[in-house]
Each structure stands twice: as structure tokens, then as C-alpha cells.
Amino acid sequence: MTERVVLAYSGGLDTSVAIGWIAQETGAEVVAVAVDVGQGGEDMETIRQRALACGAVEAVVADARDEFAEQYCLPALQTNALYMERYPVVSALSRPLIVKHLVQAAKMHGADTVAHGCTGKGNDQVRFEVGIGALAPDLKVIAPVRDYAWTREKAIAWAEERNLPIDVNKRSPYSIDQNVWGRAVETGFLEDIWNAPIEDVYSYTQDPTEPRDADELVITFDQGVPVAIDGETVTVLQAIQELNRRAGAQGVGRIDIVEDRLVGIKSREVYEAPGAIALITAHQELENVTLERDLARFKRQVEQRWTELVYDGLWFSPLKDALDTFVADTQRHVSGEVRLVLHGGRAVVNGRRSEQSLYDFNLATYDEGDNFDQSLAKGFVQLWGLPSKIAAKRDLRGAK
């Protein structure tokens, strides 16, 4: 039986060329796997047919949009996952899902090798290969672009020589990765970190400086899950899509950042994540209302570590699994409504309410009805500051 290789297929130049190249170099048949995570663009059936036309013996297309939203974006939302406190891990979330489908396809089609189109400079090679190793340790991995120094010029020449059904003349000046959670743009003139992004870079968001009326909406959460927008019931996928549309129209979610890549270099990235930023903003505020102080403080530490693990390709790791359990438990009381105003590139909370609220008006008010016993505060302050006061006295004695 001829050996088979399962290829993570995007429909672009590099992975289309990889089909024939892998077949030629290894003698194996290639099964192309494309996963729809809400990236938009070309029809997935068109991509499937292109893979077959490029020489794949099988081409699998998985509609994983709801799976991606519910099992990957939702945990990121409940964790308020922002890498370096700004980036909502757009690409990092989709990779473990794609890995899962690659491993399933390898088992189904009897393949002993998986291939991907990542370079040796980026994070994705780690996310793919570490994920594959965690789910299927016996599978081998090849990366033609990285391991055999494929350049774009070589790929174009290969495609032209074999008349592959790819438009090799249309070249975007940017490298773009996108899904329903957001869009990542790099390379080209953006590699000079002094250059400002131009409007041509953006697709998910409108120019936030253009005059327009503000958009006010209410998001309803049930145990950390967005379940309605303005009273209309939504799935997680629909919530993200609707907020991509409405927040994107207000220019919300544009991020220009020099970030720390896993491989040790710094990289300039431009992101658009209107739905993600709007949802995280609302969710964080509802947690402010419903989570007890010490739990909230500790969760913020967990959020940072969880996000680093996901960014670093360790979705399928024991620590990530354990942190998932903690985060899920924190969401038991995160139910209620948050009112957001979307305008001028910002998502701003201006109202919140919850039956699970820990906010007590009669304790917080400075007006009539105040039932906070201020007589208790004097002793509390003295005891709270006592260790610092004792240490200060010791230091003064030492100074003399």
C-alpha cells in the first residue's frame, strides 16, 4: 500500500505546490485537509477542488466554525486571554483545532506523516508540531517551506512548470492569517516598525477617525457564555460574528504591536479583532461585578499564564488542562448584562447588572441608606498596617 501524507491545506501557493512536491520527493500520496474556522475569502469547495487539481488523492474540508467558537474562542473569552495584555491570540487559537482535524484525518486515511506550510521563523511550526506530538506521538512531521528552504520564487516556478491552477501573479504585500476571532497582518512595509499602518492593511474594521454615530448594545452572559445581544438569542459563533460586524464598523479592535515571538525574536504585527475585544471588554466588567476580590486577583495571574501557554503552542498540555478547570469554575456566577458603547475605535462599558452581583448599593453609597459601619474601619486600618509599622520602627532604629 502506498504511504500517505496528510497536509494542512490553505489553498494558497505554498501548500498547493507542497502537494506535488511531497508526492515527488517521498513517493507518498497526499491527502489535503482544509479547516473552515471562519476565515472567509474563497469558498471551501473551491479550495477542495484546487487541492485535487494540484494532485491530492483526497481533499477533506471540515466546517469547524461552531467548534472553533465554542471550544476554542469561548475558553479564550472566559480567560480574558490577551497576550502581552493586548493581543487576543487569534492565530494561536486556530492551530490546535487544525491539528486535531489533521490527526483525525491521518488516522482515517492511514497516513503516518503530517505536513504543514510553516516557516522556521514563526510560532506556528511549534503549535502544529507540539500539538501533533501531544495527540499522536507516532506521527512524523515534514515542513517543506522550512526544511527545504522553499522560497516564493521557487514555489512560483514550480507552479508555472506544472500549470497548477493557482494565480501566481497576484501577490499581497502582506502575510495574512484570519479566522472569526480576528485577523493578523505582517511583513511588507510593516517590517519597518516606524511605518504607520495604512487603511489598505485593514479588512475587519472601518477607519475609527471617520465621523459616525455611536452604537450602543447590551450583551447577556450566562455563566460566562454570551447568549444574547440586545435581547436576541445567539450562539457563541453568532455573538462573535455580530460583534465583528458592529464593533468593526466602529473601528474597534485595531492593534499595532511589537510582540515577543516564541522563537526568541521580536515581530511587528497588526491585528484586527473587533468581536474579540468587544466581548472580552464586556466579560471582564461582568467579572468585576460577580467575582470575589481574591478570586479575581488570582484569576488574573492564571489568565496571563494560560495565554502564554496557548501562544507558545501548549494547548494540549497538563498545565493548560488544569488551568481550564480553574477558569471554568470561576464562571459559575458570571451571569448578567453589560451595556457597551462602540465608537471611535473603542468599546466602553457604561452599564452592568447581574442577579449574581456582589455590588451592594447600601454598602457603597455615601448618601442616606449607607449601612457600612465606619466605626469598624479604624481598628481594621491599624491592624492592616501593623506589620509595615513594626518594620518601619526597626529600620529607624537601625539607621540610628
Instruction: Check: CB of residue 40 under 8 Å from CB of residue 178.
Output: yes
Instruction: Check: CB of residue 247 under 8 Å from CB of residue 188.
Output: no
- Domains located in the chain, CATH noted: 4-171 (3.40.50.620), 176-291+334-353 (3.90.1260.10), 361-399 (1.20.5.470)
66-94: average pLDDT: 97
For the chain, give the secondary structure using H, E and C: CCCEEEEECCCCHHHHHHHHHHHHHHCCEEEEEEEECCCCCCCHHHHHHHHHHCCCCEEEEEECHHHHHHHHHHHHHHCCCCECCCECCHHHHHHHHHHHHHHHHHHHHCCCEEECCCCCCCCHHHHHHHHHHHHCCCCEEECHHHHCCCCHHHHHHHHHHCCCCCCCCCCCCCEEEEECCEEEEECHHHHCCCCCCCHHHCCCCCCCCCCCCCEEEEEEEECCEEEEECCEECCHHHHHHHHHHHHHCCCCCEEEEEEECCCCCEEEEEEECHHHHHHHHHHHHHHHHHCCHHHHHHHHHHHHHHHHHHHCCCCCCHHHHHHHHHHHHHHHHCCEEEEEEEECCEEEEEEEECCCCCCCHHHHCCCCCCCCCHHHHHHHHHHHCHHHHHHHHHHHHHHC
Name which of 1-5, 137-141, 241-245, 326-330 the model is least confident about. 1-5
Q: Which residues are catalytic, by number?
A: 14, 95, 124, 175
* Of the candidates 89, 106, 22, the residue with the CA atom closest to the CA atom of residue 56: 22
Taking only the tens place, the pLDDT of each residue in 131-187 is 999 999 999 999 988 887 777 778 788 788 887 877 655 566 788 899 999 999 988
Instruction: Check: CB of residue 135 under 8 Å from CB of residue 103.
Output: yes
Name which of 37-41, 152-156, 211-215 the model is least confident about. 152-156
Can you give the pLDDT at residue 169?
59
Confidence of residue 121 (pLDDT cuts 50, 70, 90): confident
CB-based burial of residue 356 (10 Å sphere; 0-12 exposed, 13-18 middle, 19+ buried)?
middle
Can you give the pLDDT at residue 40?
86
Share of the chain above pLDDT 90, in %: 78
* Of the candidates 103, 104, 83, the residue with the CA atom closest to the CA atom of residue 93: 83
Taking only the tens place, the pLDDT of each residue in 220-250 is 999 999 999 999 999 999 999 999 999 999 9
Can you give the pLDDT at residue 276?
98
**Cα separation of 386 and 380, whole Å?**
10
* Of the candidates 14, 13, 75, 66, the residue with the CA atom closest to the CA atom of residue 35: 66
Q: Which residues pair with 337 in a beta bridge?
A: 220, 353
Higher pLDDT, 152 or 218: 218
Which residues carry a binding-site annotation? 8-16, 87, 117, 119, 123-124, 127, 175, 259, 271
